[in-house]
Structure 1
Amino acid sequence: MPLTETGYTALRVTRTGAVATVTLDNPPVNTIDKALVTDLIQVVRSAKDDHELRVLVVESANPEFFSAHADLTWMFEPEELVALADDEGDPNLNPLQQLHERFRALPQITIAKLRGRLRAGGAELAMAADMRFAARGETWLAQPETRMGIFPGGGGTQYLTRLVGRARALEVVLGAELFDTDLAERYGWINRAVAPDALDTFVDALARRIGALPTGVAEAAKQAIDAAEASGPVPDLTEEAQAHAKVYPAPRPVVDRMARAVEAGAQTRDGELALEELLDGLDK
């Protein structure tokens, strides 16, 4: 069944010829929760076998947040995350890994068009795309999970290391700081930072150019470039899943700490605009 423009609750799909745009629209901060995961699974399932679709662009309806992060309530109720397991996904991976891997492995070229903040699961979703372009000065990325008492477990350690290298991945994960577009571009976390008023035009032109290529060219090029990485495009998500199981479901002190974070405003607009400071303030 081809990718359609209807039937979603937390995102919108628009399509022009061979190019489709997925707009995340899950107020207030585009949290990756049950509704958004369910919609994204539907998108990747439909796109996989849509032979007329060549490019998939993912963007946000909210200029302040591409996607804040995964739903923090999953810290308190991990069984709700487990219930989102994809019966067509790799059973060795957790549900977010399954989603991101299915997105990464799509035959189409995938482009993340970034504005606002993207942290944790939001950053992992963007990293699963083939390319990332961000509004200069209006986009910030972070993997703040260690501030929460865990570490990136939705593919983040694997995708990030491939993009920025081991030393910088350790810096991003363990430092858990918010990166602006200049630093993210220099590290290779994003392809490039584009002037905010030029971002839409730039991405649209690139998507249309790829979409107009002869049938099979982009897919074959993607396959060949993936093969150029000596150990494959993603070395070991199973290892990440096994390691993440050591810290999630989280022990009671971490769960209690995150409950205080939610009470202090995490997962609200104001709290998410300064999430790192909010998390640090829990220890004072």
Structure 2
Amino acid sequence: MSRGKPLHLHIVDGVATVVIDNPPVNLFDRLLYPAMMRVAEEVAADDDVRVVVLRSLNPDFFIAHFDVTLIQMLPTDAPRAEELNSFHAMCEAFRTMPKATIAVIEGRVGGGGSELALSCDMRFAALGQAVFNQPEVALGILPGGSGTVRLARLAGRSRALEAILGCDDIDAATAAEWGWVNRALPPDELWPFVDRLARRIASFPPHAVAAAKAAVLRAEKEVVADLLAEGDAFNATLGHPRTVAALAAFMDRGGQTPEGERRLGELAGELG
């Protein structure tokens, strides 16, 4: 069965809405990953776009995580990085482009999906529905797509380590309390709030929006150096026998299926 486009881009009144549509769980796979890289370049270069909003067509999943089968294919002897890998570069594009970037999270988000959302300027989640998880350590790796760098800055060291080492589900209310998201809103209020905010920002002088964002970003020190170190640490885990076994066990136990992903926190706890 052929699959359609994993992303749909709509631009209205300066707001680019990127709709993620990669069923069944919106994996960052061979379709979605390059498509997201392309759309990041496209909206960054479009002077008519002033705000970028990421949301999912599937209310149950924003982006589950990076495709584990692709992780299993990564080389285990990669040299020390001197420049950002393609995933880090994509996330940095959303963080640094001279326009506001917003992630709208209605359902589950984990791993690389969470890292993309963390790279956006703002995140808003559906109260009672959105669930966050960084499951990587349970799989023998670590959040290698900017998760260690972003969470430590946004949530603080202790909460970042609880999420990253615990590999458990974090509900939207807790995520908002921690700073993982800006706000957790009732589901029926989520999109109207974000839509109004995006249109409001898009109505302001774009040079002022870009200058203000750049000034705020200057307060974040050593981001690229920290991402490079994170990437090296991630690569160093890939060849460990327990990593190989945990990645295989994750797939065997239902990882990357809707049923398995809905119990991701529980599933992660079964891999030790």
- In the aligned structure 2, how far is the partner of 1:226 from the partner of 1:22? 23
Residue of structure 2 equivalent to 1:18: 14
Cross-structure match for 2:234: 244
1:36-66 deviation line (CA, Å, top 9, x unaligned)? 1111111111122211110000001111111
In structure 2, what is the equivalent of residue 123 of structure 1?
Answer: 114
Query: Does residue 254 in structure 1 map to residue 243 in structure 2?
Result: yes
Figure out how many residues of one structure are paired with residues of the other and give that number.
265
Q: In 1, Cα distance between the equivalents of 2:141 and 2:125?
A: 27
The residue type paired with residue 12 of structure 1 is: H
Post-superposition shift, 1:126?
0.3
Corresponding position: 1:224 with 2:194: no
Is the 2:115–2:150 contact (alpha carbons within 8 Å) kept by the matching residues of 1?
A: yes
SS at match of 1:122: helix
- Partners in 2 of 1:121 and 1:92 — Cα distance? 19
Describe the superposition over 1:156-215 as per-residue Cα deviations: whole angstroms up to 9, x where unpaired. Answer: 111111101112111111111111011111111100111100111000000000000023
In the alignment, does 2:260 pair up with 1:271? yes
Out of 172, 185, 190, the position equivalent to 1:181 is 172
Hey, what's the Cα distance between the residues in 2 that align with 1:261 and 1:227? 39
Query: What TM-score results when the alignment is normalised by the length of structure 2?
Result: 0.92
Is 1:39 the equivalent of 2:35?
yes
Task: Work out whether 1:74 is the aligned partner of 2:49.
Answer: no
Q: Residue 6 of structure 2 contacts residue 31 of structure 2 at CA under 8 Å; is this kept in 1? A: yes
Cα deviation digits, residues 20-48 of structure 1 (max 9, x gap) = 10011101100011211111111111122
Instruction: Say which of 48, 53, 60 aligns to 1:52.
Output: 48
SS state of the match for residue 144, structure 2? Answer: coil
CA RMSD of aligned residues (A): 1.8
Alignment correspondent of 2:192: 201
Shift of 1:233: 5.6
TM-score by length of 1: 0.88
Structure 1: how far apart are the matches of 2:104 and 2:82?
Answer: 30
Unaligned 5+ segments in structure 1 are 1-7, 83-89
CA contact (8 A) 1:23 1:60 kept: yes
Q: Which amino acid aligns with 2:99?
A: Q
**Is 1:104 equivalent to 2:100 in the alignment?**
no
Percentage identity across aligned positions? 42
1:239 Cα offset (Å): 1.3
Give 1:86's aligned residue: none
- Cα distance between partner residues in 1 of 2:157 and 2:255: 30
Name segments (4+ residues, structure 1) moved above 6 Å: none
> Larger relative contact order (C-alpha < 8 A, sep ≥ 6)?
2
**Match for residue 183 of structure 2?**
192
Matched residue, 2:126: 135
Structure-2 residue corresponding to 1:281: 270
Q: In the alignment, residue 219 of structure 1 is paired with which amino acid?
A: A
Alignment partners' CA distance in 1, 2:126 and 2:114: 15
